[in-house]
């Protein structure tokens, strides 16, 4: 199994993709900040089957939608066995933390 650490590292490596979503959100609402939590279901082939923003306290709905699209675009390493689900939280704030 790929496991939590490898899946999280894969998403961490593409953090700039999420930051681009945030840059667009700031145009809509300059004070937007908070957390978007994403639940990702990954097939044994490594393809993302579903990505759903289960949390979005940023005040910008489109930021959650964009984060879902970003997560769906990734391909994870294939693994033996069934699909698995993973939850990942992205913190957005204007200071880049």
Query: 11-30 burial by CB neighbour count: b if 16+ within 10 A, else e?
Result: beeeeebbeebbeebbeeee
Q: Tell me the three state secondary structure of residue 47.
A: strand
| pLDDT tens readout for residues 6-42 | 677 777 777 889 999 999 999 999 999 999 999 999 9
| pLDDT tens readout for residues 55-78 | 999 999 999 999 999 999 988 888
Beta bridge pairs of residue 50: 41
Residue-range domain boundaries for the chain? 3-92
How confident is the model at residue 5, as a pLDDT? 56
Question: pTM of the prediction?
Answer: 0.85
How confident is the model at residue 3, as a pLDDT? 53
How confident is the model at residue 97, as a pLDDT? 47
Residue 81 zone, left/alpha/beta (φ > 0; ψ -120 to 50; rest): left
- Judge: domain 3-92, CATH 3.90.550.10: no
């Amino acid at each position: 199994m790929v496991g939590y650490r490898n899946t999280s590292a894969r998403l961490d490596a593409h953090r700039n993709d999420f930051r681009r979503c945030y840059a667009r959100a700031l145009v809509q609402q300059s004070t937007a900040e908070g957390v978007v939590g994403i639940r990702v279901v990954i097939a044994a082939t490594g393809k993302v089957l579903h990505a759903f923003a289960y949390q979005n306290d940023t005040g910008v709905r489109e930021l959650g939608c964009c984060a879902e699209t970003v997560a769906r675009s990734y391909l994870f390493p294939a693994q033996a066995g069934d699909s698995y689900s993973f939850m990942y939280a992205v913190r957005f704030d204007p200071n880049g933390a």
